[in-house]
A and B are shown apart, each in its own frame.
Chain A
Amino acid sequence: MEKKAEDYLDDEFNVEGHKYHPTDKQQWIAKAIVSLVRSVKGKPLSAPEKDELWRNVTTRWESERPNAGSVLGRRYRLWGSAAAVIIVAAGLLLFRYYEDHSDERLLNHARRLHGAGAATDGAPLLTFDQDATISLANASSIRIVGDTVETTDENGLTIRNTIQTRGDYASMTVPYGQRTTIELPDGTRVTLNAGSVLSFPHRFPENKREVSLIGEGFFEVAHQPDRPFYVYSENMQVKVLGTSFNVSAYSDDEEAGAYLVEGKIELTPMGAVRFKPRILEKGTVATFNKRQGQLDVNLNSLENHAAWTQKRLVIRSATLASILRKLERFYNVEITLAQHRALGADRFSGVLDLQRPLQAILRDILNVEASEIKQKGRRITIK
């Protein structure tokens, strides 16, 4: 019996067109059916649509991930105890960030380190991908110049380390209770507040400078008009058109914000967040409320959001809960407010001198007579 089109197509291995003899009528029909079905029009997914889709997946994925990378966290703590400048060879820190987009890639980098608990304990660390980590326990300033990391200790002694890494990214991790200033390869100075991670390429490309931040940083950006400077954080992207500003993007804070001291910055949403891009002028503060998903921009030159760089905390109508969270980070402690004290929602204003002992600050804020402050190691309980 003559083999028909359906017989040809029934054969699992004959689907590929090249196996057909084009002069056979049945084979011609079989081939025509396959090629028509195969060329059915699909609506192509554009690259931005595809990226957005993937970004939505990763954002949700990250947010649902319980205690991401806790195994890595333990490693960090071990390293934190080393007080000297050490370079440790490859392989211990395995990060995975294969996203095509530098913003997501950079941010994931910071997320991983932050999630790994790197920002909670020990000494500040400078990490170069999986290749090397430098502990900065005694360093008072850090500079990256070309392929060299210069660390200067409190006695003015400078140590230079050559960066040997196959990777592209470096991350500065600052644990709770500490602050660090780092000078990036382009001369930009970033002061990082407690519990922050800054990720950046250790060599900036010619056309732009990109960094990502989780936590809080005060940026003094080196002026290079044809090489814009971007800061990516969980909810917003800051494009620098001018010079110095403060970005606050702690993952455990209800609000994220940018405060501009000089020049101009442009704020655009990141990830799943939606708000209209805004240009901030000098003296304005933008606050993004994560729960309400809303960005507010106010002219507010009175409130110095960068005061923490001078070891002062300026508070304006902040809840006690949010103040305590800032203090926890600054002093690296855990503060528990007894539940029957309905103070958590009360709002406070004022300036706190962060060079004073924490107990003294707490006594300033709270009504001494009514409060009992107990400290046991890193744990502080207020009754």
Chain B
Amino acid sequence: MSEQNVLYLTNWKLFIKGDDRALRVMFDALVEELYTFGLHLCTDEELVKDAIQDLFLDLTRYRANLNPEVHVQAYLFSSLRRKLALAIKRDLGNTQLREQSAVHMFDFEWDPETNFIQREEEHVLYAKLRKELANLSAHQREALYLRFRAGLSYQEAAMVLDISVASCRTLIYRTVKQLREKLEVTKESISSILWLLTGPSK
């Protein structure tokens, strides 16, 4: 279990036992990740904030009945996901909102300067990879996000996605494979850049 997870779980247990402060610790540690995750599921910022607020209030309401042995981050992610799904469903029933549907396809966006790419050749490859990431399904992107960005284990990511651990593992494996093949196969030039980049193994 990662250091982060130990911290979450320690505070989770403290909170259940009656330590109010522990909730604040968890809030501080996780609110940004929850918000970012939430905005990938739903574009409405206020809706996401409301859901996060609700999520933490639920913890205070059901405090005594919370399971002390959970994957805290995964638990919060999956609760948020469920809350947002309900909220979106509710809003979709509302005709006014149907046009500006709040459903997000888990699109990936990057700031222009995020990846510290030094070599000119790598830019081409990264650009290609971004394009292929955009071609994935929302489900695939979400799985990659949970695993690599949120740092969840297969078991935790599976819990959030509400699928079995085996399916989750296969999903991520196949998605990476798909990306890799696209990168290798498509254009001769890219493959050769990759070759140039890494050089022949000695």
Contact = CB atoms under 8 A, between A and B. Distances in A.
Interface of A: 4-6, 9-10, 12, 15, 22-26, 28-30, 32-45, 49-50, 53-54, 56-57, 60-61, 64-65, 96, 98-99
A33 B176 contact: yes
Given A12-B153, A37-B145, A61-B60, A53 B130 contact: no
Contacts of B180: 4-6, 26, 29-30, 33
Interface centre among B20, B32, B195 (most CB of A within 10 A): B20
Given A36-B133, A40-B149, A44-B32, A10 B57 contact: no
A29 B185 CA distance: 13
A15 B24 contact: no
The 3 closest A-B pairs by CB, nearest first: A42-B36, A6-B176, A39-B114
A56 B110 CA distance: 31
Interface residues of B, number: 53
Given A37-B133, A45-B35, A61-B57, 9 more contacts: A25-B194, A28-B194, A29-B184, A37-B148, A45-B32, A53-B31, A54-B24, A54-B27, A56-B53
Interface in B137-161: 144-145, 147-149, 151, 153-154
Given A40-B149, A43-B36, A99 B31 contact: no
B89 interface: no
24 contacts: A6-B173, A15-B151, A22-B198, A23-B201, A26-B180, A33-B148, A33-B179, A33-B180, A36-B115, A36-B129, A36-B130, A38-B149, A40-B145, A41-B110, A41-B111, A42-B32, A43-B45, A44-B32, A49-B49, A50-B32, A53-B49, A64-B57, A64-B61, A98-B21
Contact of B176 (A9, A12, A49): A9
B150 to A, nearest CB: 10
Contacts of B151: 15
A323 B42 CA distance: 50
Interface in B155-199: 169, 172-174, 176-177, 179-180, 183-184, 194-195, 197-199
B108 interface: yes
A28 B198 contact: yes
Task: Report whether over half of chain A's contact residues are helix, strand or loop; otherwise say mixed.
Answer: helix
A43 B45 CA distance: 9
A12 B154 contact: yes
B183 A53 contact: no
Nearest to A61: B60
A24 B201 contact: yes
B152 to A, nearest CB: 11
A286 to B, nearest CB: 29
Contacts of A35: 115
Contacts of B47: none
Contacts of A6: 173-174, 176-177, 180
Contacts of B153: 12
A39 B148 contact: no
A121 B198 CA distance: 78
B110 A29 contact: no
A37 B179 CA distance: 12
A6 B173 CA distance: 5
B87 interface: no
Contacts of B61: 64
A15 B146 CA distance: 13
B201 A39 contact: no
Nearest to B18: A96
B74 to A, nearest CB: 15
A42 B61 CA distance: 29
B42 to A, nearest CB: 12
A25 B35 contact: no
Contacts of A39: 110-111, 114-115
A37 B108 contact: yes
B108 A25 contact: no
Contact of A24 (B57, B115, B154, B198): B198
B39 A42 contact: yes
A181 B91 CA distance: 54
Nearest to A60: B57
Given A29-B183, A35-B115, A61-B57, A41 B148 contact: no
Nearest to B122: A32
Given A35-B115, A57-B27, A25 B148 contact: no
Contacts of B108: 36-37, 40-41
Contacts of B129: 32-33, 36
B55 to A, nearest CB: 9
B125 interface: yes
B110 A40 contact: yes
Contacts of B184: 29
B115 A9 contact: no
Contacts of A53: 31, 49, 52-53
Contacts of A28: 194, 197-198
A46 B16 CA distance: 29
